[in-house]
Chains A and B, each alone.
Chain A
């Protein structure tokens, strides 16, 4: 069996376990799904309140802004659904030595650490976020071609890779810092920028949040595919960023892993 197929089988087993667990604790699942839904509602409300008083934010109208917000939330919910719990636990596991359990598993340690848990509540809300994208596209009268839809899905995938890589880089700092709690908070601070149009960034903010940190292009690039079709600079830029940040995350994680000394690290 190829290594990819083997990893997929391990992932499918983890996913089955997570779903069974969610069904066992249904009340918990409902509460946390509501938590995410409420926080998505908060972002939506902010957009609605601002557009009560203005017609445009950096040249984007209300429906375009909802499309951008929906795309940003979609990527974030997918991250929460597929990777958040695993990466959140990584910090704790390095501190208390439970990472040993993952080292003994038959496959890539980074893969095992990242995919150990699936959060169905995050995945349920990714459907809500997708609903927001579809609603906004309807408001704008967009009729995307199959090619545009495929490209949008691919760029959302690239966005997910970037989010995952940034979160992994933040969490992997635990190998050096012992506690990554504050650093994880930094990831959530950065997410805020992904809900804003790229045109809103000027001067130093443009250099930092558009060029140095990929927090703006991550949602703007897919949203622009639906709005304006294929724009090579945006598409290739996001794909390049995704490859670069994933490479960096893999490098830093494995460097960190070398420092791991079981329970005493």
Chain B
């Protein structure tokens, strides 16, 4: 057990080194994301002009939600993991993992965790720089239970994010080019994950439907816990649903891996 953990610890450390090489890339990306935050502040500021609340929340709560979403995008989102997995399959690099006593999913998950640790830390720099200008616009609820509930929600969200990206990457066993499908799904994930607008602003029937889908648990759910958009009962129910989706997605990933390997032909060294 400890030896197995040691393998993935090494993979994590390698991932950490690899991500640190691209630290400037993450930093530039983080800096430009402040433009996005500025656009969000301007748009929603204009939408709130002359009214105290939109959808039951005030402007500060809404801006806090979007700032949290921005941080979570760097902390738990899958960036290009699907593309990396796809390339490893396409170029035959995956063959080396088939011959070694290593679980490819856990190997990739370790690298994902390292990459998010780096990007999650680096986004704090532009956010810290912007803090003097935006802190008046932020209003976190300050209830301790929210932080306690957010920790498992964030871990499960990261797992949902990674496993969906992993499944898309494995589609390369069937399709030569998956980039179009990935970007297509990004649009769906962005909307149903609450990155474009808080999902509670949708009509109630659509919001309820979105709550049953895995995308809801990618980003909106932990952000809604942290920013006070959902209460304790909905949080508890959401955690159970989120755990259910993680199990289902892990089963899907395993099924795709087993079936995909049957189609895979390893050629060369």
Contacts and interface: CB of A to CB of B under 8 A. Distances in A.
Interface of A: 28, 31-32, 34-35, 38-39, 41-42, 45-46, 49-50, 52-54, 56-58, 181-183, 185-186, 189-190, 192-193, 196-197, 199-201, 205
Contacts of B21: none
B39 A196 contact: yes
Contact of B49 (A49, A58, A181): A58
Nearest to A187: B32
Contact of B35 (A38, A45, A192): A192
Given A49-B201, A182-B25, A200 B183 contact: no
A50 B46 CA distance: 11
B191 A54 contact: no
Contacts of A58: 46, 49
Interface in B148-205: 177, 180-181, 183-184, 187-188, 190-191, 196-197, 201-203
Point out which of B50, B180, B202 has the most chain A C-beta atoms below 10 A from its C-beta: B180
Given A57-B43, A189-B35, A189-B36, A42 B202 contact: no
A196 B183 contact: no
Given A28-B180, A38-B184, A189-B32, 10 more contacts: A39-B187, A41-B187, A42-B196, A45-B191, A52-B201, A53-B47, A181-B25, A185-B29, A186-B28, A186-B35
The 6 closest A-B pairs by CB, nearest first: A182-B28, A31-B180, A189-B35, A200-B46, A38-B187, A192-B39
Interface in B39-53: 39, 42-43, 45-51
Contacts of B190: 42
Contacts of A186: 28, 32, 35
7 contacts: A49-B202, A53-B47, A181-B25, A182-B25, A189-B36, A193-B35, A205-B42
Q: Classify the secondary structure of A's interface with B.
A: helix
Given A54-B54, A205-B42, A46 B197 contact: yes
Q: Is the interface of B mostly helix, strand, loop or mixed?
A: helix
Nearest to B182: A35
B29 A196 contact: no
Given A28-B177, A28-B180, A42-B191, A53 B201 contact: yes
Contacts of A189: 32-33, 35-36, 39
Interface of B: 24-25, 28-29, 32-33, 35-36, 38-39, 42-43, 45-51, 54-55, 177, 180-181, 183-184, 187-188, 190-191, 196-197, 201-203
B59 to A, nearest CB: 12
Contacts, number: 89
B36 A183 contact: no
A45 B39 contact: no
Given A53-B201, A189-B35, A182 B196 contact: no
B54 A35 contact: no
A196 B43 contact: yes
A193 B25 contact: no
Contacts of B191: 42, 45
Contact of B45 (A28, A49, A200): A200
B197 A49 contact: yes
Contacts of A192: 35-36, 39
A169 B33 CA distance: 19
A170 B36 CA distance: 17
A57 B28 CA distance: 31
Given A46-B196, A200-B42, A185 B32 contact: yes
Contacts of B29: 182, 185
Contacts of A181: 25
B42 A54 contact: no
Contacts of B183: 35
Nearest to A194: B39
Nearest to A29: B180
